[in-house]
Amino acid sequence: MRQYPQLEFDLALLRSNADAVISRCRGMGIRVCGVIKGVDGLPEAARVLRAAGAAELGTSRLEQVAKCRAAGVPGPWLLIRIPGLTELPDVVALCETSLQSEWPTLLALEEECLRQNKTHRVIVMTDLGDLREGFWDKDELVDVCERVERELPHVQLAGIGVNLTCYGSTKPTPEKMNELVGLARQVEQRIGRKLEIVSGGATSSFTLVHWGTMPAGVNHLRIGEAILLGKDLQVDWGIRDMDYLRMDALTLRAEVVEVKDKPTYPIGEFAIDAFGRKPVYEDRGIRRRAILALGRADVGELESLIPREPGLTVIGGSSDHCIVDVEDCPRRLQVGDIVEFSLCYSHMLYATARSDMRIIFKNQSAQEE
Ligand SMILES: *Cc1c(COP(=O)(O)O)cnc(C)c1O
């Protein structure tokens, strides 16, 4: 097996992020579903989130639930991607709870529960403007919740939820959250009991916990990125006083396989690159550059990798090559040297999911309570 590229996961830093997020949520009466889809459901990460007090674990992929259960990670499990009809046998077998937005699916879920002689909990999703999953028609949502309550004995209505800032870039605001809470109250009136869960969204909704503006009534968030990476809100949203979240729990290491002085402008007639694109090249004369044994097959987009090596910039690459400009590096890089990067969410998603990626764990004891 190849040694590089290599991913190091510092579980103590992951634990620190999980503690920070979960304790702040707990202070506002909010339970956290720890979402592990960003790291391919790594059981080590899942264990850390549970040890830190995540009330349940969530992912969009049933294979990850199966993997974690086989590894003995304690649930309960929430499926956070609305399931297809073909997935329902595994949903009922593997997960305690799932997100739902279609009556036909809920009906089929009842049948599957009967078949397996089990009950299953659902969170019915509303769409408050992000335009991904969820009922757009709010009356329809209330009607469907009532029908689940009255007509589906094996499907338990645990609550309602919303997702924001995923397809649309709709921002969670106190107004949006109040809309959700209002809708929950409507459902409660109709069914004559309180809902257990009012699920206000993902990492982007954690901003309201951070700022202390989360309306009462929202009691559940499904959080992945803020815990795994901690970067979106601090870097992309520019929130400055969130430095209690560490952004360096994951380190990508790659090996230098070529170092040469070369022109910066390709020579000859131009066609297209390996991925069918027509890149624009800037002629900066002859510069020292290196090739890393790392490619788009490992991490997706290379240009957005975040180098930790001073002076190094990623200038491009292909499936299995990453070309970096090292002219300005104080360290004189040579073949065989190892360089490090921090990751964005998409890099983390792709890199952890590759079967040939070597993943090493630091501070394994962070998995214990
Ligand atoms: C991915 C996802 C989450 C977690 O999102 P993060 O931004 O990683 O916190 C929560 N809920 C749903 C429905 C998701 O698809």
Ligand 1 atom nearest to CA at 223 = 9
For residue 3, being part of any structural domain is answered with no
Claim to verify: residue 225 and residue 255 sit in the same structural domain? no
Mutate which of 17, 126, 163, 234 for ligand 1 pocket (most atoms within 8 A of beta carbon): 163
SS3 31: strand
For residue 5, being part of any structural domain is answered with no
Claim to verify: residue 165 and residue 272 sit in the same structural domain? no
Task: Check residue 240 and give its pLDDT.
Answer: 95
Claim to verify: residue 51 and residue 132 sit in the same structural domain? yes
For residue 119, being part of any structural domain is answered with yes
Task: Check residue 159 and give its pLDDT.
Answer: 98
Whether residue 7 contacts residue 29, with contact meaning beta carbons closer than 8 Å, is answered with no
Task: Give me ligand 1 centre to Cα 3, in Å.
Answer: 31
For residue 28, being part of any structural domain is answered with yes
Of the CA atoms within 13 Å of residue 180, those in its CB half-sphere come to 35
Which protein residue has the closest C-alpha to ligand 1 atom 6? 224
Q: Tokens 């589906």 label which residue?
A: 152
For residue 257, being part of any structural domain is answered with yes
Strand partners, 164: none
Claim to verify: residue 145 and residue 194 sit in the same structural domain? yes
Task: Check residue 269 and give its pLDDT.
Answer: 85
Which protein residue has the closest C-alpha to ligand 1 atom 12? 80
Which protein residue has the closest C-alpha to ligand 1 atom 3? 202
Q: Calculate Rg over the CA atoms of the chain.
A: 23
Please give the Cα distance from 259 to 116 (Å, whole number): 60
224 lines ligand 1 (CB under 6 A): yes
Task: Give me ligand 1 centre to Cα 298, in Å.
Answer: 23
Claim to verify: residue 101 and residue 203 sit in the same structural domain? yes
Which protein residue has the closest C-alpha to ligand 1 atom 5? 202
Claim to verify: residue 218 and residue 303 sit in the same structural domain? no
For residue 367, being part of any structural domain is answered with no
Task: Give me ligand 1 centre to Cα 212, in Å.
Answer: 21
Task: Check residue 1 and give its pLDDT.
Answer: 77
317 lines ligand 1 (CB under 6 A): no
Question: Backbone phi, then psi, for 325, in 5-degree steps?
Answer: -85, 125
Strand partners, 162: 126
130 lines ligand 1 (CB under 6 A): no
The residues, any chain, with a CB within 8 Å of residue 196's CB and separated by 6 or more, are 158, 159
Rounded to whole angstroms, what are the CA distances from 271 to 85, 193, 266, 274? 45, 66, 11, 10
Domain count, the chain: 2
Mutate which of 32, 56, 166, 348 for ligand 1 pocket (most atoms within 8 A of beta carbon): 166
| Single-letter code of the amino acid located at 321 | H
Q: Is 83 exposed, middle or buried (0-12, 13-18, 19+ CB in 10 A)?
A: buried
**CATH number of the domain within which 255 lies:** 2.40.37.10
pLDDT (tens digit per residue) in 296-346: 999 999 999 999 999 999 999 999 999 999 999 999 999 999 999 999 999
HEC assignment per residue over 269-323: CCCCCCCCCCCCCCCCCEEEEEEECCCHHHHCCCCCCEECCCCCEEEEECCCCEE
Among candidate residues 235, 262, 279, the one where a domain is terminated: 235
Task: Check residue 267 and give its pLDDT.
Answer: 87
Claim to verify: residue 215 and residue 275 sit in the same structural domain? no
Q: Tokens 């490090």 label which residue?
A: 340
SS3 206: helix
Mutate which of 80, 197, 204, 344 for ligand 1 pocket (most atoms within 8 A of beta carbon): 80
Among candidate residues 208, 235, 262, the one where a domain is terminated: 235
Task: Check residue 205 and give its pLDDT.
Answer: 97
Task: Give me ligand 1 centre to Cα 62, in Å.
Answer: 15
Task: Check residue 167 and give its pLDDT.
Answer: 81
16 lines ligand 1 (CB under 6 A): no
- Closest CA relative to residue 93, chosen from 74, 116, 111, 68: 116
Task: Check residue 271 and give its pLDDT.
Answer: 82
Ligand 1 atom nearest to CA at 133 = 13
Residues of the chain with pLDDT under 50: none
Task: Give me ligand 1 centre to Cα 143, in Å.
Answer: 26
For residue 245, being part of any structural domain is answered with no
Whether residue 348 contacts residue 250, with contact meaning beta carbons closer than 8 Å, is answered with yes
Q: Tokens 């830093």 label which residue?
A: 13
225 lines ligand 1 (CB under 6 A): yes
Among candidate residues 209, 235, 261, the one where a domain is terminated: 235
pLDDT (tens digit per residue) in 101-121: 999 999 999 999 999 999 999
- The pTM of this model reads 0.96
Task: Give me ligand 1 centre to Cα 223, in Å.
Answer: 6
For residue 242, being part of any structural domain is answered with no
Claim to verify: residue 260 and residue 222 sit in the same structural domain? no
163 lines ligand 1 (CB under 6 A): yes
Domain of residue 145: give its range.
11-235
Mutate which of 17, 25, 35, 77 for ligand 1 pocket (most atoms within 8 A of beta carbon): 35
Claim to verify: residue 344 and residue 195 sit in the same structural domain? no
- C-alpha 141 chain-centroid distance: 27
Task: Give me ligand 1 centre to Cα 33, in Å.
Answer: 10
Task: Check residue 369 and give its pLDDT.
Answer: 84
Claim to verify: residue 157 and residue 292 sit in the same structural domain? no
Claim to verify: residue 174 and residue 274 sit in the same structural domain? no
Claim to verify: residue 261 and residue 325 sit in the same structural domain? yes
Percent of the chain with pLDDT over 90: 92
Task: Check residue 174 and give its pLDDT.
Answer: 97
Residue 37 annotated in active site: yes
Task: Give me ligand 1 centre to Cα 343, in Å.
Answer: 18
